[in-house]
Structure 1
Amino acid sequence: MSSQGRRRIDEISEESRRRILDAAEELFAERGFDRTSFVDISERSGISRGSIPWHFKNKEGLVMAVVERTIDRVMPPERYQSVPAFAEVFDDSTALVRGDNSALLFMILAEAISGTRGVHAQYQEFLARRRDGLELLLRARRPENADPETASKQERAFAAALNGALLGIHLQAHIDPDSFELDEALQSVAALFDKNLADIWSTPPASAG
């Protein structure tokens, strides 16, 4: 096959993937995970039902692809190559919570907590990747004289705390948006994280018990 023919096939495949994701994002937001079938997605997207598992393997893989695409719209990986301040990370996160279908992230979280089929494991993997990304930001700032083992433990804990703060604030914003100012809450927590960032490499991790 010529290179031009291969490029055309790749373009068609990418277009099919996009249309499936668009349809799935709409339907998951409208109906939830369990009440959305491949048949529904096929009818909404105009793509054959058999093409959906070819692109995403199963519905769990599809739903996490929808979530990651939603996040990548406002928080693309290349955005953080310059190691921004955490205030910038929180600014991007504000754009996420105000975007279209942003509640989808929490709908899937609820289904993951309830143990819905394979969503629980998929969401675990999703959260782990988000923490890994924050750890990379921290590692890029790590002082040269820091002990690698201690620093790694502290970075892991700090990343989990930051990820949890973002999810918690955004969950409140969806459930009770009039009770506080989202921007002010995020800026306050971001300033706190930036202010105490240096301490994570000088303070030993807390021990249990």
Structure 2
Amino acid sequence: MTRSTRRAETTRESRRLLLEAATALFAERGYRRTTFEDIAARSGVSRGSIPWHFGSKEGLLAAVVDDIVVHLAAVAGSLDPGTVDQVLDTLTAFTRAPSTGLFAKLMVEADDPESPLRETYAGLHDALRVQVRAWVARLPLPEGVAAEELGTVLLGAVIGIHQQWRVAPGAVDLDRTYATFAALLRSAGITAPAD
């Protein structure tokens, strides 16, 4: 292995560790309360590497969001539109993932019109809508139901379920809630039942 190859691997590994640490810390503490020092300590990568890789804290957040969107796009692309149970399992796992707590934290911080997070959070919602709409467009939809609007409604439902569960996990049974959600979709003829 050449020196430049080792250096490139070390750079990729440092970036990955920083992204993982930032994702976890932003989800736990929020964007504003997380410092470069926190991220460096969690990742084991020097603090000075953060601006080198990402330019700024906002650049790091954008990279975290991009990383999540890429992962979600891969998951959404693998979903069989006729397999409700697969979609249900994916939604439940997505909601329970620790990194998904980031969405709830960001929403509170991005609500302020002056927040530097507002644009990033809006971009995250745009990307999620694209993924949901792409999945919905593959479904047999009832007459009068447009994929674009249904995608927005479904994403809104998932975000609402997620936020309720994050705030009061003892009051929201995810398995039963998503099973009810799937039953509603089936009864409306939005998707075929799983085999």
Question: Are 1:66 and 2:64 counterparts?
Answer: yes
Q: SS of the counterpart of 1:34?
A: coil
> Which whole-Å deviations, capped at 9, do the CAs of 1:138-169 have from their partners, x for residues lacking one?
333468xx9xxx98xx2111111110100101
Q: Specify whether residues 90 and 114 from structure 1 end up closer, same or farther in structure 2 by C-alpha distance, changes over 3 A only.
A: farther
Choose which of 158, 163, 167 in structure 1 pairs with 2:155: 163
Structure 2 portions without partners, runs of 5+: none
Residues 61, 122 of structure 1: 8 Å contact kept: no
Q: Specify whether residues 87 and 111 from structure 1 end up closer, same or farther in structure 2 by C-alpha distance, changes over 3 A only.
A: farther
What is the aligned length?
Answer: 189
- TM-score, normalized by length of structure 2? 0.77
Structure 1 portions without partners, runs of 5+: 200-209
Q: Return the alpha-carbon distance in structure 2 between the equivalents of residues 81 and 23 of structure 1.
A: 27
Which structure ranks higher in relative contact order (CA pairs < 8 Å, sequence separation ≥ 6)?
2
Q: Return the alpha-carbon distance in structure 2 between the equivalents of residues 72 and 183 of structure 1.
A: 25
1:191 is matched with which residue? 183
- TM-score, normalized by length of structure 1? 0.73
Q: Return the alpha-carbon distance in structure 1 between the equivalents of residues 171 and 103 of structure 2.
A: 21
> Which whole-Å deviations, capped at 9, do the CAs of 1:88-121 have from their partners, x for residues lacking one?
2332121122233542220111111134632110
- The RMSD of aligned alpha carbons is 3.2
Residues 90, 186 of structure 1: 8 Å contact kept: yes
2:133 is matched with which residue? 135
Residues 90, 166 of structure 1: 8 Å contact kept: no
1:83 is matched with which residue? 80
Q: Return the alpha-carbon distance in structure 2 between the equivalents of residues 197 and 17 of structure 1.
A: 45
Q: Give the stretch that moved more between structures: 34-43 or 124-133.
A: 34-43
